[in-house]
Amino acid sequence: MTVVADLLDRIGPVAAPSKGAAEARAWLDRHGLPDRRDEAWRYTPVPAVVEALAETPPSDAGPVPSGAVPAAIAIDRDLVDRRAGRPDGPRLVVVDGRLAAPLSDLDALPAAVRVGPAGGAPGAPPADGFEALGRVVGGGAVAVDVGPGGDRRLHVVHVATGRSGGAHPALSLHVSAGAAFELIETFVGVGAAAVVNAATRVTAEDGATVGLVRVVAEDDESVHVGRTAVALGRGATLRGTSVLVGGRIARHALDVDAAAPGSHVDVAGLAVPRHHDRHDTVVTVDHAGDDVRSGQIFRVIAADRGRGSFSGHVIVRPGTVGTDADQSSRALLLGPDAQADSRPWLEIFADDVRCTHGATVGRLDDDALFYLRSRGIPAAEARRLLVAAFAAEVVDRIGDTGTREWVEARVRARTVGAG
């Protein structure tokens, strides 16, 4: 794999080699990075991601590239508040993949929640070549372990400074049987172009209820490829909300392994590409267990020449019964050059399946716009109301008020004047 070797030559590894890194390297040599033939990557320009990574010179390469943040930039709590909103409840701050203890509320963690470094031990096979790459480079890893109990929430803010070699944050979350927990991950920059390659792995034991909110709010010139892999135990519930509101390239792959019976998967996503952004969300729900219900709703609001894509991959394994899978995708195009793709991707190998999907692409409703304006509401405000209403189906799922309002503000800022 000359691409991989060349890339690794430029960007790493920077970490001490571990067993996990060695295995990831072997995986990478076998599988390589995703390419055009890879269906799951159809809507993300992989060469542009590779190029962005390769352009970040090794850390010992001398002068900081123009536009990058000087090494001395002070990332303090104020800056994080300004960039990522102030959540209710405790927050961890991870800078370029490394937990920044002084900025984190490590003393105020919710009951029975433990946070520590994840070892370099081999884990599940990588979801894709970029995750493998992240393990090889050794971007840093945080492990969150959640014991019994309910009603707890932790906010993790990932800050990317545009450091050389990209940021490769990895986070693992383990939620014990019967416990309830919500993880909010937000990804922000500090005004410099950054490349972020983030991997989150979640294990929900039997009967656990896990909320995942993931907001990619990278800076305009940044590139983000991320994935969340979730393994659900018997009767476990996942409520996932994915939001892409930043980055010239932003991708989120959410893979749900529903191998145990009776789990419930409820995921929703919103992408708001503008300028020339490419935003791509790929959700895969693998119904490998019986009586698994899944619902996916997805919304794209595309402005300027932005393009938002959604693939809803549903796999139903042979011999399973009681599968219920719904999918709905709607796109709002705020300009003649905006684009949206919606791809239901169904692989159903069982009979006892109820499966629905629907997709629409539209523009702002002229009748609604006229109705609002006829009440004295200025056109721009009327558009804003309609755009916010379109986003609300996803955004309103974010229970944390601080995070929700921050996302609403970003959606507004990204769509102002469009439509």
| Contacts to another protein by CB under 8 A | 365, 367-368, 370-379, 381-382, 385-386, 388-390, 392-393
Structure tokens at 141: 């890893």
Is 388 strand, coil or helix?
helix
Q: How far is CA 385 from the centre of its chain?
A: 26
Angle at the Cα of 291 (from 287 to 292), degrees rounded to 5?
40
* Sequence-ordered list of residues with C-beta below 8 angstroms from that of 224, at least 6 positions apart, any chain: 187, 195, 196, 197, 198, 216, 218, 246, 247, 249, 250, 251
> What single letter denotes the amino acid at residue 167?
A
- Within 10 A of 291 (CB to CB), how many other CB atoms are there? 18
Block residue for tokens 């019967």: 178
Alpha carbons within 13 angstroms on the beta-carbon side of residue 381 total 8
* Least Å from the CB of residue 74 to another protein: 38
Cβ distance to another protein smaller for residue 347 or 381: 381
* Least Å from the CB of residue 401 to another protein: 16
Cβ distance to another protein smaller for residue 5 or 389: 389
* Least Å from the CB of residue 45 to another protein: 32
* Least Å from the CB of residue 165 to another protein: 42
Euclidean distance between CA atoms 362 and 282, whole angstroms: 21
Euclidean distance between CA atoms 238 and 307, whole angstroms: 28
Structure tokens at 157: 């803010």
Cβ distance to another protein smaller for residue 359 or 368: 368
Cβ distance to another protein smaller for residue 154 or 395: 395
* Least Å from the CB of residue 396 to another protein: 9
For 10, list phi and psi in degrees, rounded to 5. Answer: -80, -40
* Least Å from the CB of residue 338 to another protein: 20
Cβ distance to another protein smaller for residue 349 or 371: 371
